[in-house]
Amino acid sequence: MRIIAGSARRRLLATLDGTDITRPTIERVKEGLFSSIQFELSDKKVLDLFSGTGQLALEALSRGASSAVMIDENEKAFEILKANAQSTGLIKQCRIAKMDYSEYLKSASSKGEKFDIVFLDPP
């Protein structure tokens, strides 16, 4: 798995073993998704729930999004998220949290936090 385009282009992403924790979006699907929204990413705030490896949020950041919040409740996924954000050089634009998506949404809602793009891709 890799970042397809932008500032982190061709950077490889670490993944978790097996499919019981995460099921990364296949590259063909990711290419289609980002072809559809490529002109909508500049300076946008992104939320990636069920983030897994972080590939969707990191791809968005690589292509010009201003910031990303990545949420996953799994400890192993949380560690992979941090490692991938660091290895792509996009860590400064990321906020990564290990928590249940519904708890995060309640918290963000109570704080009035808003996002321009939300990725919701559960395993």
Q: What is the DSSP string of 76-115?
A: HHHHHHHHHHHHTT-GGGEEEEES-HHHHHHHHHHHT---
- Can you say how many angstroms the Cα of residue 65 is from the centroid of all Cα atoms in its chain? 11
Q: What six digits make up the tokens of 67? A: 């910031």
Looking at residue 55, its pLDDT comes to 94
User: Does residue 74 form part of some domain?
Assistant: yes
User: Does residue 61 form part of some domain?
Assistant: yes
- What letter does residue 2 receive in the DSSP assignment? B
Looking at residue 22, its pLDDT comes to 62
- For 3-47, write each residue's pLDDT tens digit: 999 999 999 999 887 655 566 777 888 899 999 999 999 999 999
User: Does residue 50 form part of some domain?
Assistant: yes
Instruction: Read off the CATH number of the domain in which 116 is found.
Output: 3.40.50.150
- For 73-119, write each residue's pLDDT tens digit: 999 999 999 999 999 999 999 999 999 999 999 999 999 999 999 99
Looking at residue 107, its pLDDT comes to 95
- Give CA–CA dist 97/95, Å, rounded: 7
User: Does residue 102 form part of some domain?
Assistant: yes
- Give CA–CA dist 12/112, Å, rounded: 35
Looking at residue 20, its pLDDT comes to 56
User: Does residue 20 form part of some domain?
Assistant: no
Domain span holding position 101: 27-120
pTM of the model: 0.92
User: Does residue 96 form part of some domain?
Assistant: yes
User: Does residue 15 form part of some domain?
Assistant: no
Number of domains in the chain: 1
